[in-house]
Structure 1
Amino acid sequence: MGRARAATVGTRLVAVPQRVVAHDDHPRDERGLTMLDPEISTRDALGLLSSPGEVERAAGDHDLGERRRALSRRRFLQLVGMGAGAGLTGAPLFDALGAPLDGFDPSAFAAPVASDEGIIVVLGMYGGNDGVNTVVPLTDGHYIDQRGPLAIAPADTLPLDHRLGLHPALGTLHALWGAGQLAVVEGVGYPDPDLSHFTSMAIWMSAIRHGTIDSGWLGRWLDGHLAGGPDLYTAASIGSTVPLHVVGRSRRATSVPPRRAGFGGGTNEADQRLYAAVRDLAAPAGQGPWHDALAAALRDQVDLAEQLAPVVPASLPDAPLTASLEVAARLINADLGFRVLETGWGDFDSHAGQASMHPARMVELDAAVARFFEVLDPAWAGRVTVMTFSEFGRTPYSNASGGTDHGTASAMLVFGTHVAGGTYGAHASTAGLQRWERPAHTVDVRAYYASIIDGWLGGGSSEVLGGDFDDLGLFAAAPGTAVEPGGTGPIVTPGGTSGGTGGSTGGSTGGSTGDATKGGGSAAPAAVGTAGAFVGMTPVRIADTRDGAGGIPVGTVGPGATLRVPVAGRHGVPPNGVVAVVANVTAVDPSEATYLTVAPGGAGRPDTSNLNPVPGRATPNLVVMGVGADGAVDVFNHSGSTHCIVDVFGYFVAPTKVSTEGPDEQDAEPLPVGQRFTALTPERVIDTRDGTGARPGPLGRSDRLDVRLAGRAGVPRSGVTAVVLNVTVVHPESAGYLAIGPGGAPAPGTSNLNFVTGQTVPNLVIGTLGPDGDVSVTVETDGVHVLADVFGYFATPEPGSPSGALLRTVAPARLLDSRDGTGVPAGQLGADHEMVLQVAGRGGVPADAVAVIVNLTATAASHATFVSAWPDGEPRPSTSNLNPAAGSTVANLAIVKVGAGGRIRLVNAVGQVHAIADVFGYFVAG
């Protein structure tokens, strides 16, 4: 037996048993059964939920008096599809035609739209749009695995922020995002979802989950908005019927054909004689209310079609959606009083052949949106918003027929000049889902609609929706008002809105305590996917919230807050052309256990972490992070409060020229020549416990150790500028710190490792070599052993023969989480147990990547242990990357050579431990 579906008694939804039956048009599981009930198609469901007359008939309304009441002249015009089947040629009515049309009588219509009234254009994506291939989750480590060949590679998307990218066909919508005019509402659905087209479509159209469905949500808004006033030209459906969502209990939308009016719109002499005859025949004849209502409606159709025929051009685009949206724009331009315009298209029900079907729908959508804004007069831009809806999402997993099946939560789009661009809600998690399981929604569809009603249509959502639902804050300003420069509205959490104060002092901006981000339309970081070569530099402290170093105001970073750290153009980093920065981020004196996430400035918070601080300790970690469009990086703090320090050790540059004097300066100089990376099999190069690479014995306070690395462990004797080291301190006798710098140079005023008495802690370092190929190690503690393992090096390529690899950053994504089965079977990593992790082909990492940048985290360790990473297919090295204590959670960045089949390996030494890996970039031969 399958899940229960909803049947109709009238339009009351009741649960009845549903059997999953085989059907040739639907994919089957391993038992030969379809994955859903195929009892009705998209087209049939839409037809049953559209007028004329379907809602009344379904409700069992057979009372002649009521039907007679409904068939007034105005009601009949709506039912027979008569409406303003006209529009403009691209300008307001009178401007376009030069003078008022002969016989044009505006009194026949509703009052013109007031300057403070919003117009909503609703796009139905019928059949169940694939939300995750429309708005691609770049940081969901499951997406590539579950979708298989249907997945869109992150590099192919149009990036929105560090978490999301648009389908590559949606260039117009991407431009709206860049202008701060596109909102993405993730995870929209409703409780106890139904997988029948008819039932789910009815719920989405009505916003009624249980009970009798007798009207649509916008129809009920019309009931209250009109309150007895004229309604013929307040709402229109561009098409041959009127769907449920614009049908009220007493009012409904007018049906407007997506073409020039036929009968009533002719201009030749024969047509005019025919219309005159119709008017004569339609004169009241005393034959009863039915005759008079029909006759008057027919006469009105002829009159209005004749008057408005010049408004719609004879030729419209061939694509149905593009034609419909052009008509919608022309109706708005004509100022006939429309507040609601509705249209839709499909089919989105991609059970098979989705690889061609869904991209075609995306091309249609983008072309139609582009045409709509091309035709819409700019004078109306501040009063028009467009929104989408679809009765389904699609399943996270693809099926054997090259498609996906009916899903639940999906992403919706809202766009317009007054939209507060950004992301709302939260991505519906697919972690731990089995094939054919569906994720839970994170935003109720009624909250989505309430946000439109209250934010754009003037309010009244509680009456329309039968309850109070959170306003998501989708709009930056009211209709017709000026948008505040740079205004983005409140930060949004999955349950609604947040005040966004963040609770921090100085140097940090307010943030949400939820998982959602609000980009405010910020451009996605240019660094994502851009090749870059490394430029080392003398370490410099660019931010310290304890004393304001780097121009950061003094004060802790509070719970849910963001520290914005300017990088480009400061501290020796070029102002332009910077792909990524190499920085050591340290959390100091946290008030409680928390985690910090680092991301490009303004790109939003990814679902990853970089540091896991605990009270009483200073916790460092290296990051290789793309910079935002503003040249900054953001540091998010999850909970409590903490001081934050950021030290820069180098940066990656793109092979472009940048101006050194500003936009008016004609002379430009090239960026510094960057070095390319060569990955190595890990090898230990320093161990003061046994004298490897250095004198044996612990280092004491202010001790300095210079170690030559050139010519060792695969590092060439010459041409090398920096090495990648994992440095570990073991059993320090007192709290202190360690700093790495070039050999022969003064000790830097920065730190790489911070530790307390007895703590074993590692950190990745990209250390610049001195002129003799040395690095220096300086410690400030009473005594500590130091270990260092080399993982690769940077060198200047030979002229004309570049060798080595270039960095390409990716949107942070989780590749491994042994707690929920991401990337590997769920379960802890046992003692001396090896884990194979596929990295190529996941999280934006291509098959030809030579090394991967991953943040490794160990958590819930049963004993003090160490975890090592190395390329698959090579012997296990005597090196380490993580050193968790029992019960602790620790993180460390790793740059690991990619081994056989695009895989790396991890091993745990002692006890049991969970492992997590988030990818931040990769190196590829350039």
Structure 2
Amino acid sequence: MHRRNFFKLTGTCTGGLLLLPDFLYSYALQENLTPGDSCLVFIQLNGGNDGLNTFIPYQDELYYKYRPAIAINKNDIIAGHNGMGFHPALKGLADIQQKGDLTVIQNVGYPEPNRSHFRSQEIWVTAAPNEYLSNGWLGRFLDLQCDAHNPTASINIDNTDTLALRGNELNTITINNPVGIKNNIENKTGILSQNPQLDFVRKLSNSVNESADKIKTALNKAKPADISYPKSQTSKKMEWIAGLIKGGLNSKVYYTSLSGFDTHEGQLNKHKSKLAEVSDAVHAFYTDLKAAKKMDEVTVVIFSEFGRRVQDNGHGTDHGTAAPMFIIGGKNKGKVIGKNPDLVNLDHGDLIHEHDFRSVYAALLKDKFSFDPKQIGINNAALTGIF
């Protein structure tokens, strides 16, 4: 069976109603992954998030000179320190930073940046700026970590698959609505069809019923959150991920994305809304897992394929290069790593990257999993100071 066909049957065409938490719990209680409870949660901001209007150099007058149409007023900046501060919509992230659980890595990018959404996203998820690879960096990592096929080594909660998790083995599944598997399984009588691929899915589905005791035990471990998550798609995804983690799912990677960051026009309102959705969702997730005493084990990574141009276009911003990454939880040091954005020395109007994103990946693999990133082709030295 081809991986792509499997995903069409289980993740996309079924509307995410076939492979769900009950299934996940029954299959993931294996011991063929990296020991320990550490896991990574990735939130990919699709479209190219404007880093300069996210973590803002509000004491640099050039910021206001270059951005007369979209600059954020100094009086509205929150959690300001050392010339940098958060967009006012990021109250949740600012609170996490004030608590010492959020690290900002400034000016992240890669050499000879590509300003195409598709190609730059591909570069970030394969960790190969100069190659075209069919497998993602996390997929390659999981290929080496799983002793045998494990469909829940990583979970992608989205409408479409992500190249980041694609490997030689099927160590990931894509779902978009982890609710109600028992009421949505077809062919409960066990009679097989003439479609071997569909039969494979049905066999997996039937195994859920056969594992009812394990399912109930695992689900009972996931206590309901003591807080109310905001009403947004991103919040719902983060609530599902939190439930899987609290319930003891032995997945090492959770992945999701949010679109809408391609702000060529109407940026002020659009960007504010998107930032608030991410910030509020992540803060609820953080609060939930803090109460469950899980945040030391969980590391959230927020990134985008590139930033925006320094000069606004009168209505928004065009495609740029470097931008900040955010690391939350996982016993990070809560620092701001890197220099403030250099608005004097630009590369054709764009920021010059200071940190290669692959160095961040190397640090995550080394610290969270004691894994040598060179095994999957990441030869960059691990960025120090995150953990």
The TM-score range, normalised by the shorter chain, is: 0.7 to 0.9
- 1:111 alignment counterpart: 30
Q: Are 1:125 and 1:389, in contact at CA under 8 Å, matched by a contact in 2?
A: yes
Alpha-carbon distance in structure 2 between the residues aligned to 1:428 and 1:83: 46
| Matched position secondary structure for 1:325 | helix
Q: How far, CA to CA, are the matches of 2:44 and 2:253 in structure 1? A: 13
Question: Of the candidates 404, 426, 429, which is equivalent to residue 339 of structure 2?
Answer: 426
State the SS of the aligned residue for 1:471. coil
Contact 2:41 2:300 (C-alpha < 8 Å) held by counterparts = yes
User: For each residue in 1:811-856, what CA deviation from the matched residue of structure 2 results, as whole angstroms up to 9, or x when unmatched?
Assistant: xxxxxxxxxxxxxxxxxxxxxxxxxxxxxxxxxxxxxxxxxxxxxx
Matching residue of 2:159: 240
Q: What's the offset of the Cα at 1:132?
A: 1.1
Distance (whole Å) between structure 1 residues aligned to residue 170 and residue 343 of structure 2: 41
Bigger helix fraction: 2
* Contact 1:222–1:251 under 8 Å retained in 2: no
Partner of 1:386: 300
Is 2:74 aligned against 1:154? yes
Counterpart secondary structure, 2:299: strand
One of 338, 348, 369 as aligned partner of 2:251: 338
Return the alpha-carbon distance in structure 2 between the equivalents of residues 83 and 412 of structure 1: 34
Partner of 1:468: 380
Amino acid at match of 1:385: T
User: Could you list the per-position Cα deviations for residues 774-795 of structure 1 after superposition, in whole angstroms to 9, with x for gaps in the alignment?
Assistant: xxxxxxxxxxxxxxxxxxxxxx
Displacement after TM superposition at 1:232 (Å): 1.2
1:471 positional shift:
2.7
Deviations 1:109-155 (A, max 9, x none): 34278873411000000000011111011343311111113111233
In the alignment, does 2:211 pair up with 1:297? no
On the 8 A contact 2:34/2:145 being kept in 1, the answer is no
Q: Distance in 1 between matches of 2:287 and 2:302?
A: 19
More deviation, 301-310/447-456? 301-310
Q: CA deviation at 1:77?
A: 4.9
Tell me whether 1:407 sits opposite 2:320 in the alignment. yes
Change in 2 beyond 3 A, CA 1:252/1:425: farther
- Checking the alignment, whether the CA contact within 8 Å between 1:395 and 1:406 is kept in structure 2 is yes
Q: How many residues align?
A: 373
**Cα distance between partner residues in 1 of 2:377 and 2:18:** 28
Q: What is the CA–CA distance in structure 1 between the aligned matches of 2:105 and 2:247, rounded to whole Å?
A: 31
Within the alignment, does 1:446 sit opposite 2:366 as a pair? no
| 8 Å Cα contact 1:428/1:442 also seen in 2 | no
C-alpha deviation, 1:275, in angstroms: 4.2
Query: Which residue, out of 301, 312, 315, partners 1:398?
Result: 312
Say whether 1:322 aligns with 2:235: yes
SS of residue paired to 2:41: strand
Higher strand fraction (1 or 2): 1
Deviation at 1:348, TM superposition (A): 0.1
Give yes or no for the alignment of 1:211 onto 2:131.
yes
What is the deviation of 1:465? 3.3
Structure 2, gaps ≥5 residues long: none
How does the TM-score come out when normalised to structure 2?
0.86
Aligned pairs (5 A) from 1:511-910: none
Tell me which residue corresponds to 1:86.
21
Say if 1:83 and 1:243 are closer, same or farther in 2 by CA, change over 3 A: farther
| Alpha-carbon contact 2:7-2:174 (below 8 Å) kept | no
After superposition, the C-alpha distances for 1:719-776 in whole angstroms (9 at most, x for unaligned) are xxxxxxxxxxxxxxxxxxxxxxxxxxxxxxxxxxxxxxxxxxxxxxxxxxxxxxxxxx
Q: Retained in 2: the 8 A contact 1:258–1:323?
A: no
Alpha-carbon distance change, 403 to 380 in structure 1, aligned in 2, over 3 angstroms: same
Q: 1:432 to 1:341 in 2, by over 3 A?
A: closer
Note the alpha carbon deviations across 1:787-810, whole angstroms, 9 max, x for none.
xxxxxxxxxxxxxxxxxxxxxxxx
> Paired residue for 1:201, among 121, 133, 147?
121
One-letter identity of the residue aligned with 1:335: G
**Offset of residue 75 of structure 1:** 11
Offset, 1:304: 3.2
SS where residue 389 of structure 1 aligns? strand
Q: Following TM superposition, by how much is the alpha carbon of 1:242 offset from its aligned partner in structure 2, in angstroms?
A: 1.6
**After the TM superposition, which of the residue ranges 339-348 and 241-250 deviates more from structure 2?**
241-250
Structure 2 counterpart of 1:184, one-letter code: V
For the residue of structure 2 that corresponds to 1:254, the secondary structure is strand
1:494-513 matches, cutoff 5 A: none
Deviations 1:593-616 (A, max 9, x none): xxxxxxxxxxxxxxxxxxxxxxxx
* In structure 2, C-alpha distance between the alignment counterparts of 1:426 and 1:251, rounded to whole Å: 40
Q: Which amino acid aligns with 1:418?
A: K
Equivalent position amino acid for 1:369 in 2:
V
CA distance in 1, matches of 2:5, 2:322: 41
* CA shift for structure 1 position 106: 5.7
The one of 67, 70, 91 equivalent to 1:171 is: 91
- Which amino acid in structure 2 is aligned with residue 299 of structure 1? K
After superposition, the Cα gap between the structure-2 partners of 1:192 and 1:71, relative to the gap in structure 1 and judged at 3 Å, is closer
Distance 1:148 1:465, change over 3 A: farther
Choose which of 191, 204, 219 in structure 2 pairs with 1:280: 191
Larger Rg over CA atoms: 1
Say if 1:188 and 1:412, in contact at 8 Å, map to a contact too.
yes
Q: Which of 101, 107, 124 is 1:187 aligned to?
A: 107
Q: For 1:204, what is the secondary structure of its paired residue? A: helix
Give per-residue Cα distances to partners, 1:381-429, cap 9 Å, x unaligned.
22101011101101111102x1000010001100115011111123341
Q: Take 2:121 and 2:7, find their aligned partners in 1: how far apart are those partners?
A: 27
- What is the deviation of 1:74? 9.9
- Cα distance change of structure 1 residues 374 and 183 upon mapping to structure 2, 3 Å threshold: closer
Distance change (3 Å), C-alpha of 1:281 and 1:158 = same
TM-score computed with the length of structure 1 as normaliser: 0.38
SS of equivalent to 2:255: strand
Give the aligned residue type for 1:108.
Answer: Y
Q: Higher RCO, 1 or 2 (CA under 8 Å, sep at least 6)? A: 2
Letter aligned with residue 86 of structure 1: P
Structure 1, unaligned runs of 5 or more? 1-67, 88-103, 476-926
RMSD (Å), alpha carbons: 3.1
Change (3 A) 1:71 1:428: closer
Counting aligned pairs with the same residue, the percent is 28
Is structure 2 residue 264 aligned with structure 1 residue 351?
yes
Does structure 2 retain, via aligned residues, the 8 Å contact 1:154–1:165?
Answer: no
Change (3 A) 1:382 1:83: farther
Change beyond 3 A, Cα 1:232–1:432 = closer
Matches within 5 A, 1:112-131: 116-131=36-51
Corresponding residue of 1:898: none
Distance in 1 between residues matched to 2:246 and 2:106, nearest whole Å: 32
